[in-house]
């Protein structure tokens, strides 16, 4: 009996993990440059936290959450996204008392029981940012600029920013009612999925990708034409800010997000290099969420971005740097005594920051040299019985083939000089 990873989950093997680390480091650098600080929250929470924030009737909560009862009978769920957890932590730790605008970022695994396909997994990873405490439309612009700055730092080309307003508690309900009535008239032309959503979540019908829905909703009224003066002014302000920064955008009146907590600004960054699941990033404003979760009324805005999808684009656009990490030094040894010396020497060199590998399989010198090649070692140091007697080693610089005899006492010095060049 052997075991396999669960459908929709993946192992990130060493041949790939260095790429993740490379991207994560760049993401962190940009987050820090924008003065966002990392938050790490548990991967599971009380189920009602997600039901309250994301919405009982959304696909995520009604169909996709990994929900289970623990041994004390509490209903817990693996987090399907992070905003709810971040806002929970914001309230629980009174973060707003220390700073009027709290800027947080995160990276980590999320869990949704979706139908797995390219770019859609059941355990996937997101990075994201949340800014809690300001209603200023310039902050919306700053958040969009942050997401774009990250893709730019990674070298990603050809992304498109789509933007819309999903209104607020004043203008959305009457629009929703009107939309429902209009959709009702064409319900027979809608897909099964949209017919089901018509009652529960009519706004989602608007961003359906199904061909028959597209036709049926072509001339439906759009929320952006029915915004209240406050939401309209906010939207125009955000657009003005984007123009001011020279950020290209497409207004998309059909863009509604799959989470109920959004208000006003909603946006997505998409890539044509992704195929059907083309969204790299989704985000928006959530001015009512903190209050909804029991905190003081506090506006906020954030975005979440899929890391697997980012990896697909980076791969497609050939943006990873050349090659995996290299071993700096391989110490080839012959005999137990030489091995013992090598272990000690390796400790010393590693404490100075070198990546050092040695042989633990008692291989022949020839096969140790092959291993050094496979590891792309920059240097190989050979220690056999003679070397132990003479207290001298041979160090070969692999790129040039140059060999040098170095006394035991001079080994660290040799690498201090060579490695720092
Ligand atoms: P959402 O939280 O649904 O707004 O998603 C934000 C981003 O996370 C999306 O734009 C995707 O890049 C990514 N994402 C969401 N769901 C998945 C999934 N099941 N598998 C992989 N990436 C996902």
Return the residue whose CA atom lies nearest to atom 11 of ligand 1. 306
Which of 139, 138, 87, 124 is closest to 296 using CA atoms?
Answer: 87
Return the residue whose CA atom lies nearest to atom 21 of ligand 1. 120
Residue 143 CA to residue 286 CA, distance in Å, equals: 13
Residue 346 CA to residue 343 CA, distance in Å, equals: 5
pLDDT in the model for residue 320: 95
Return the residue whose CA atom lies nearest to atom 13 of ligand 1. 306
pLDDT in the model for residue 206: 86
Query: What is the residue-level pLDDT of the chain in tens, covering all 421 positions?
Result: 899 999 999 999 999 999 999 999 999 999 999 999 999 999 999 999 999 999 888 889 999 999 999 999 999 999 999 999 999 999 999 999 989 999 999 999 999 999 999 899 999 999 999 999 999 999 999 999 999 999 999 999 999 999 999 999 999 999 999 999 999 999 999 998 899 888 888 888 888 888 888 888 888 999 999 999 999 999 999 999 999 999 999 999 989 877 778 899 999 999 999 988 899 999 999 999 999 999 999 999 999 999 999 999 999 999 999 866 678 999 999 999 999 999 999 999 999 999 999 999 999 999 999 999 999 999 999 999 999 999 999 999 999 999 999 999 999 999 988 765 5
Spatial strand order in the sheet of 159-165: 37-38, 102-111, 123-132, 300-306, 279-285, 263-271, 159-165, 250-251
pTM, 2 dp: 0.93
Residues having CB closer than 6 A to ligand 1 are 81, 112, 114, 119-121, 124, 126, 257-258, 279-282, 304-306, 308-309
| Dist. CA 260 → ligand 1 center (Å) | 15
Residue 248 φ/ψ, nearest 5 degrees:
-70, 150
Residue 417 CA to residue 175 CA, distance in Å, equals: 71
Decide the pairing of beta strands 75-78 and 263-271. Answer: unpaired
pLDDT in the model for residue 390: 96
Decide the pairing of beta strands 67-69 and 44-46. Answer: unpaired
Q: Assess contact for 338 and 391: CB atoms under 8 A.
A: no
Return the residue whose CA atom lies nearest to atom 1 of ligand 1. 282
Return the residue whose CA atom lies nearest to atom 12 of ligand 1. 306
Return the residue whose CA atom lies nearest to atom 4 of ligand 1. 282
Ligand 1 atom, smallest distance to 257 CA: 4
| Dist. CA 159 → ligand 1 center (Å) | 16
pLDDT in the model for residue 239: 98
Ligand 1 atom, smallest distance to 258 CA: 3
Q: Assess contact for 148 and 249: CB atoms under 8 A.
A: no
Tokens of 22: 């490379």
| Dist. CA 23 → ligand 1 center (Å) | 17
Residue 139 CA to residue 151 CA, distance in Å, equals: 19
| Dist. CA 76 → ligand 1 center (Å) | 21
Ligand 1 atom, smallest distance to 126 CA: 8
| Dist. CA 305 → ligand 1 center (Å) | 7
Q: Assess contact for 144 and 250: CB atoms under 8 A.
A: no
Tokens of 246: 């020279």
Return the residue whose CA atom lies nearest to atom 18 of ligand 1. 120
CA distances from 261 to 164, 306, 319, 335 (A): 15, 19, 35, 67
Concatenated DSSP letters of 22-42: HHHHHHHHHHHHTT-EE----
Residue 272 CA to residue 101 CA, distance in Å, equals: 35
H/E stretch holding 129 reads strand 123-132
pLDDT in the model for residue 324: 60
- Pocket probe for ligand 1: among 143, 309, 310, 314, the residue whose CB has the most ligand atoms within 8 Å is 309
Continuous H helices in 201-335? 202-206, 211-216, 229-245, 289-292, 307-316
| Dist. CA 227 → ligand 1 center (Å) | 27
**All domains of the chain in start order, with CATH:** 14-171+227-316 (3.30.930.10), 329-419 (3.40.50.800)
| Dist. CA 36 → ligand 1 center (Å) | 21
pLDDT in the model for residue 102: 98
pLDDT in the model for residue 97: 95
| Dist. CA 99 → ligand 1 center (Å) | 30
């Amino acid at each position: 009996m052997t075991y396999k990873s669960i459908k929709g989950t993946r192992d990130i093997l060493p041949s790939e993990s260095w790429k993740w680390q490379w991207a994560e480091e760049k993401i962190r650098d940009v987050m820090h440059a924008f003065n966002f600080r990392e938050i790490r929250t548990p991967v599971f929470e009380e189920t009602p936290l997600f039901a309250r924030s994301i919405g009982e009737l959304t696909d995520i909560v009604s169909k996709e959450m990994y929900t289970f009862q623990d041994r004390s009978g509490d209903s817990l769920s693996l987090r399907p996204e992070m905003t709810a957890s971040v806002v929970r932590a914001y309230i629980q730790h009174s973060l707003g008392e220390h700073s009027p605008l709290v800027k947080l970022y995160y990276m980590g695994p999320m869990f949704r029981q979706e139908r797995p396909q390219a770019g859609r997994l059941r355990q996937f990873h997101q990075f994201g940012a949340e800014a809690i405490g300001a209603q200023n439309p310039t902050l919306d612009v700053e958040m969009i600029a942050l997401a774009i700055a990250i893709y730019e730092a990674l070298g990603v080309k050809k992304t498109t920013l789509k933007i819309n307003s999903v209104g607020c508690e004043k203008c959305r309900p009457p629009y929703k009612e009107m939309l429902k009535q209009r959709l009702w008239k064409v319900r027979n032309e809608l897909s099964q999925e949209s017919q089901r959503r018509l009652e529960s979540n009519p706004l989602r019908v608007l961003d359906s990708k199904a061909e028959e829905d597209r036709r049926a909703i072509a001339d439906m009224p759009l929320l952006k034409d029915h915004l209240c003066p406050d939401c309209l002014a906010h939207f125009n302000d955000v657009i003005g800010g984007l123009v001011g920064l020279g950020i290209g955008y497409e207004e998309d009146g059909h863009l509604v997000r799959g989470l109920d907590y959004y208000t006003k600004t909603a946006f997505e960054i998409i890539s044509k290099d992704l195929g059907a699941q083309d969204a790299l990033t989704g985000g928006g404003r959530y001015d009512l969420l903190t209050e909804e979760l029991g905190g003081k009324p506090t506006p906020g805005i954030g975005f979440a971005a899929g890391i697997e999808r980012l990896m697909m684009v980076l791969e497609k656009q050939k943006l990873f740097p050349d090659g995996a990490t290299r071993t700096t030094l391989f110490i080839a040894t012959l005999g137990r005594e030489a091995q013992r010396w090598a272990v000690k020497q390796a400790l010393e060199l590693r404490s100075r920051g070198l990546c050092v590998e040695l042989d633990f399989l008692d291989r022949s010198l020839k096969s140790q040299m092959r291993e050094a090649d496979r590891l792309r070692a920059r240097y190989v140091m050979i220690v056999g019985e003679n070397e132990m007697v003479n207290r001298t080693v041979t160090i070969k610089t692999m790129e040039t083939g140059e060999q040098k005899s170095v006394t035991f006492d001079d080994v660290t010095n040799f690498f201090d000089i060579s490695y720092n060049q």
